[in-house]
Amino acid sequence: MKSTTSASPPSNPGGDDVGVGSVAPSRDWLWAHLLVLCAVGFAATFVGPVSWTPRSVWDSCVSGDGAVFSAWIEIRARRVLFAGTVGALLSVAGSVFQSILRNPLAEPYILGVSGGASLATVLALVLGVDLIRDSVIFPIQAWIAFGGSLLSVMLLFAIARWGRLRDPANLILCGVVLNSIFLAGIVLFLVTASETLVTRTLPWLMGDLSGVHDVVPRMALLRNGIAVLGGVLLFWGVSRRLDLMSLSDEEAADLGVPVARFRWVTLIGASLLTGIAVAGVGPVGFVGLIVPHIIKLIHGPVHRRVIPATAVTGATFLIASDAIARAIGALPVGAITALAGGPFFFLLLVRQRREVGS
């Protein structure tokens, strides 16, 4: 017989629902995250092959010759902003996947969602779909990547249901299998592609932010910014339901959550965020795994705080990763996140196995 206390989460988790006194602390923690983001972002604009300093940029701004300042804005600042939006998108999507699937190891890259978006985009390129003329806010590339990510989620659930693989570890294994299949498909398509297309696609497949300095990424930056704002507002608005989804389906339904419909709506939303991120830079792994765990360690599992904090910290994380990649020597940012995320994923997997065995 179930205990009545387990049917609902605490009415005031994390202190968000208390009286007037809770408003100031909530603003304080958010301002702290934003301050770190601004500091890291500003420092990252001075990392790169060309040595610029704040003094040289300022002198160029106030003098008649604004060449350095213009280049700093057009190349460095816009790349930092773009990296921040991608990090926010992947982090929020990862947090939602973990909550909806009740799986701390869930993440767009590990589940194969990013791989599905990548395969769909590469297939479209091989078939001759023009993805470069995205002079609109939401171009065909974003929709194709979204379709691929959504189809991969549906395929993941179909395989899990068919094989009765519902526990978290098996769901992750299904994602790994899907990723392998998607990778094989990408390789097969690229073998038949032209050398020009392969040269253009390979850096993107490694999660590359280089080349973010022309008119197309301006629209991509606007697109990502709209997606971040919309995603944060959407999932922050349903944060209470996300909290309740940590319970069983029966308990969440008893507390008023339309479980099946809510799960699919949120999965579609998270897939859209993933598709938009992948359309811009390719599959960047483990951002949606590392950042939500760090935020939940600091703030607890209450999504009213987790969603905005995850977005801001995800932006900070990917900006810092990209700065490290540029400092080392123009590496794809996906290489840095993989170096950080691989051991992190292994530690989480070991901890989960120990908790199950204890």
* 304-318 per-position pLDDT tens digit: 999 999 999 999 999
Low-confidence ranges of the chain (pLDDT < 50): 1-25, 213-216
Domains identified in the chain, total number: 1
Determine the pLDDT at residue 132.
53
Determine the pLDDT at residue 64.
66
Determine the pLDDT at residue 4.
40
Tell me if 13 is assigned to some domain.
Answer: no
Determine the pLDDT at residue 315.
98
Tell me if 219 is assigned to some domain.
Answer: yes
Residue-by-residue DSSP string for 257-324: --HHHHHHHHHHHHHHHHHHHHHHH----SHHHHHHHHHHHHH-S-HHHHHHHHHHHHHHHHHHHHHH
Give the rounded distance of the alpha carbon of 167 from its chain centre: 23
* CATH code at position 106: 1.10.3470.10
Determine the pLDDT at residue 142.
83
Determine the pLDDT at residue 171.
79
Tell me if 36 is assigned to some domain.
Answer: no
Tell me if 319 is assigned to some domain.
Answer: yes
Determine the pLDDT at residue 220.
79
Determine the pLDDT at residue 302.
94
Tell me if 86 is assigned to some domain.
Answer: yes
State if pTM tops 0.75. yes
Domain that holds residue 169: 75-350
Which pair of structure tokens corresponds to residue 76?
């460095």
Determine the pLDDT at residue 108.
94
Tell me if 261 is assigned to some domain.
Answer: yes
Tell me if 333 is assigned to some domain.
Answer: yes
Determine the pLDDT at residue 213.
47
How far, CA to CA in Å, does 351 sit from each of 99, 169, 354?
18, 12, 5
> Are residues 27 and 315 in contact, defined by beta-carbon separation less than 8 angstroms?
no
Tell me if 196 is assigned to some domain.
Answer: yes
